[in-house]
């Protein structure tokens, strides 16, 4: 009882009994509320008249369905927030995470609300059950204020969640895409990023290319960091062609799936990571790996998973290194990330690294095992 009394008194002035927190300026209170999810921020409206409408001025909206007992309550809450919030105030950050299938109507409403309120950072993570192909609202994919976009829209049918042929996002700096389909142009390839003039960071995972074109052209003169993630050996494969002269970081992880090439020599490549976890089809995996190594010819720091090293080891043991590894002329360090199921002895690791570096100036002593 004494403890509760002390807690109540701690927020009140000793003489006047005033609520010192409520006396803080709106900007301070709203800043404190950014550390809450939106559900808890809205609940502050019951504290006093001072707090009744304060949440309506929030510029950061965190809408996660796992904070609610069921999706029906969550969907109703989201609709209420979008209807009741002060529409004259811009939204800086909207984080919408909907476990399970959401309706296209709600997804469109969230997207259009964000775009019409000068959104800066948008995250959408949900699932759809489509009866026909679905394209996200043009308003969000041509939003001039958007600087950060993370889209993960898993589809539980054979239909596609499609991106337009070209993203027109002039302020976009960071883009992460999962479970979307790239639309091809008349020339038979998908080239969605060329108009994102300030794009710096791009992550692509579990995405596909429309129809049978199977070619994704990543053309961007500003891009510096690119990551590919794959989770399934049977994931749809396609060729990737890079025209990214300022790229400084390139990573692939998961399964070896995509064939890669570059129209430029990636002269500013600082780090390259090939972090394969598994491989099934050895001939194809080895061919894909050699393609990635060729693209890494100018890399300064490279990290290989022990699974990737195992592919090189198997190639050298079979005497099938018909395609020689490139000369890594700028390489300063090579790190081997050892996995417990790699099935490579210390001796095999050393011999395989020697084979990999046979045309390179880096000495075997410069290799680090972790």
* Per-residue model confidence as pLDDT tens digits over 183-225: 998 888 999 999 999 999 999 999 999 876 689 999 999 999 9
Give the whole-angstrom CA distance, residue 58 versus residue 78: 14
Give residues with Cβ within 8 angstroms of 233, minimum separation 6.
Answer: 255, 257, 278, 279, 280, 281
Burial 47-73 (b: 16+ CB within 10 A, else e): eeeebeebbeebbbbbbbbeebeeeee
- Determine if the pTM surpasses 0.85: yes
> Could you tell me the pLDDT band of residue 368, with boundaries at 50, 70 and 90?
low
Instruction: Write phi, then psi, for 110 (nearest 5 degrees).
Output: -60, -45
Specify the higher pLDDT residue, 1 or 154: 154
DSSP notation for 107-130: HHHHHHHHHHTT-SEEEEEEEE--
Spatial contact of 114 and 140, defined as CB atoms under 8 Å apart: yes
- In the predicted model, is pLDDT for residue 231 greater than 60? yes
190 torsion bin: left (phi>0), alpha (psi -120 to 50), beta (else): beta
Q: H or E stretch including 78? A: helix 71-84
- In the predicted model, is pLDDT for residue 132 greater than 80? yes
pLDDT, position 16: 54
Specify the higher pLDDT residue, 365 or 119: 119
- In the predicted model, is pLDDT for residue 324 greater than 80? no
Spatial contact of 193 and 216, defined as CB atoms under 8 Å apart: no
Which of these CATH numbers, 3.80.10.10, 3.40.50.300, 1.10.3720.10, 3.40.50.720, describes 59-359?
3.80.10.10
Residue in this structure with the two tokens 């969000």, named with its chain if needed: 140
> Could you tell me the pLDDT band of residue 253, with boundaries at 50, 70 and 90?
very high
The two three-digit tokens of residue 137, written as one number: 């609202």
pLDDT, position 157: 77
pLDDT, position 234: 55
pLDDT above 90: percentage of residues in the chain: 51
- In the predicted model, is pLDDT for residue 62 greater than 90? yes
Going from N- to C-terminal start, the domains of the chain cover 59-359
pLDDT, position 61: 94
- In the predicted model, is pLDDT for residue 320 greater than 70? no
The two three-digit tokens of residue 51, written as one number: 């707090």
- In the predicted model, is pLDDT for residue 298 greater than 90? yes
Spatial contact of 184 and 158, defined as CB atoms under 8 Å apart: no
- Taking residues 58-67, report their average pLDDT: 92
């Amino acid at each position: 009882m004494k403890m509760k009394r002390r807690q109540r008194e701690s927020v009140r002035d000793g003489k006047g009994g005033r609520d010192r927190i409520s006396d803080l300026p709106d900007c301070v209170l709203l800043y404190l509320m950014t550390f809450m999810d939106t559900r808890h921020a809205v609940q502050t409206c019951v504290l006093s008249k001072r707090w009744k409408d304060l949440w309506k001025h929030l510029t950061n909206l965190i809408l996660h369905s796992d904070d609610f007992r069921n999706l029906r309550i969550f969907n109703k809450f989201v609709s209420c927030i979008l209807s009741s919030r002060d529409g004259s105030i811009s939204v800086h950050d909207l984080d919408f995470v909907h476990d399970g299938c959401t309706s296209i109507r709600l997804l469109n409403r969230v997207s259009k609300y964000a775009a019409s309120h000068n959104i800066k950072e948008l995250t959408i993570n949900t699932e759809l059950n489509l009866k026909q192909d679905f394209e996200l609202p043009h308003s969000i994919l041509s939003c001039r204020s958007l600087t950060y976009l993370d889209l993960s829209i898993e589809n539980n049918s054979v239909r596609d969640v499609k991106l337009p042929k070209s993203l027109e996002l002039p302020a976009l700096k960071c883009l992460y895409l999962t479970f979307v389909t790239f639309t091809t142009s008349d020339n038979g390839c998908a080239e969605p990023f060329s108009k994102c003039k300030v794009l710096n960071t791009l992550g692509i995972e579990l995405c596909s290319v429309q129809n049978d074109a199977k070619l994704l052209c990543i053309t961007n003169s500003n891009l510096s960091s690119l990551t590919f993630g794959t989770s399934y050996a049977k994931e749809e494969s396609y060729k990737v062609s890079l025209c990214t002269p300022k790229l400084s970081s390139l990573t692939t992880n998961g399964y070896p799936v995509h064939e890669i090439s570059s129209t430029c020599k990636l002269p500013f490549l600082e780090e390259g990571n090939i972090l394969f976890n598994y491989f099934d089809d050895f001939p194809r995996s080895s061919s894909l790996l050699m393609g990635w190594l060729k693209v890494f010819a100018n890399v300064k720091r490279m990290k290989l998973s022990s699974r990737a090293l195992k592919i090189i080891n198997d190639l050298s043991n079979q005497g099938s290194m018909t395609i020689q590894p490139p000369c890594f002329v700028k390489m300063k360090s090579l790190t081997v990330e050892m996995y417990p199921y790699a099935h490579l002895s210390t001796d095999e690791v050393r011999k395989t690294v020697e084979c990999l570096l046979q045309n390179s100036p880096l000495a075997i002593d410069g290799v680090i095992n972790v």
